[in-house]
Amino acid sequence: MIKSTTKPGTLSTLDRGLLALEAIAESQKGLAAKDLATTLGVNLGTSYQILRTLTNRGYVRREPGGGHRLGLRLGLLLQHFDSQVVPDQVLVDLVDDIHDQLDETAYAALFEEGDVVVATIKESTQALRVANLHVGYRENMHARASGKALLAFLDEQRVRQIVEEKGMPALTSNTFTSVERLLTDLATVRDRGWAVDNEEFTAGVMCVAAPFFDASAKPIGALSVSGPSFRISSRLGYVGATLSGLAEKAARHYGYSGPYPPERKGPS
């Protein structure tokens, strides 16, 4: 069941509608009203109301068998998304560099309002490749290398606040679900300068990430790479060093001029 994350001053009905769109998008065979009700944790009548509203606006279409899929109206949003949400060209170029040097799926993520949001992706050309995130993905930072790379350079109180708000669900048997265990790992990230997701987000997949900073040494994003665990683990040090070098270039671009990575500010 997907839990609503509405905050004071926000509309729970709109939140459920957006969650419904996400659930339908992730469905492989279309989503029936009953299944959506279970997914959202609402009654069947509410599920039908949500679906009728979205169908009326063209964002969802109902199929003959009763399933629901995304509607053509979403193409308008996608068109404007492509024109309005364009990542900084420097980040795009650095992701290209990661891809060229490591030939694995490369990402850039940005720290936005307490979330680590994927901004751009370039997939590996190898036959066995990984693409388990998408542009706009912002969940489960505790299990993602890019999330840990950024959390490591926040003060402990802020880290605790974020993980308490976002939660720490177990995505695999390797996922950290204890804040104390996560904090121990973040100390290693600070010492090393880059983070590792050792099959914590997806079984069989390893991800490495290095953070970049703005002029005030605030962590604002991360560059990362993911691939099959056997391929990343065999050259982990090289991957981490490569990402650190490119992330430092990003930091310089955004005005950071101190030693890379910086000392974390605030209490330990």
* Amino acid 224: pLDDT: 97
* Amino acid 82: pLDDT: 59
Please give the average per-residue pLDDT across 19-27, as a whole number. Answer: 89
* CATH architecture of the domain covering 85-253: 2-Layer Sandwich (3.30)
Cα–Cα distance, 244 to 235 (Å, whole number) = 14
* Amino acid 266: pLDDT: 41
Percent of the chain with pLDDT over 70: 90
Please give the average per-residue pLDDT across 117-140, as a whole number. Answer: 80
For 103, the token pair is 């030939």
Q: Which long-range contacts (CB under 8 A, 24 or more apart) does 252-261 make?
A: 253/88, 253/90, 254/212, 254/213, 254/214, 254/215, 254/220, 255/214, 255/215, 256/212, 256/213, 256/214, 256/215, 256/217, 257/215, 258/217, 260/193, 260/213, 261/153, 261/190, 261/193, 261/210, 261/211, 261/213
- Whether residue 169 has a cis bond before it, omega within 30° of 0: no
CA-based angle 260:261:265, to the nearest 5? 125
Q: Fill in the amino acid letter for 33.
A: A
Dihedral of alpha carbons 188, 191, 196, 197, sign: positive
Q: Over 80: is that where the pLDDT of 234 sits?
A: yes
CATH value of 12-78 in 3.90.1150.10, 1.10.10.10, 3.40.50.300, 3.40.50.20 = 1.10.10.10
Kindly report which listed range (21-25, 74-78, 226-230) carries the lowest average pLDDT score: 74-78
Please give the average per-residue pLDDT across 169-183, as a whole number. Answer: 96
The residue ranges of every structural domain in the chain are: 12-78, 85-253
Cα–Cα distance, 159 to 174 (Å, whole number) = 20
Q: Fill in the amino acid letter for 185.
A: D
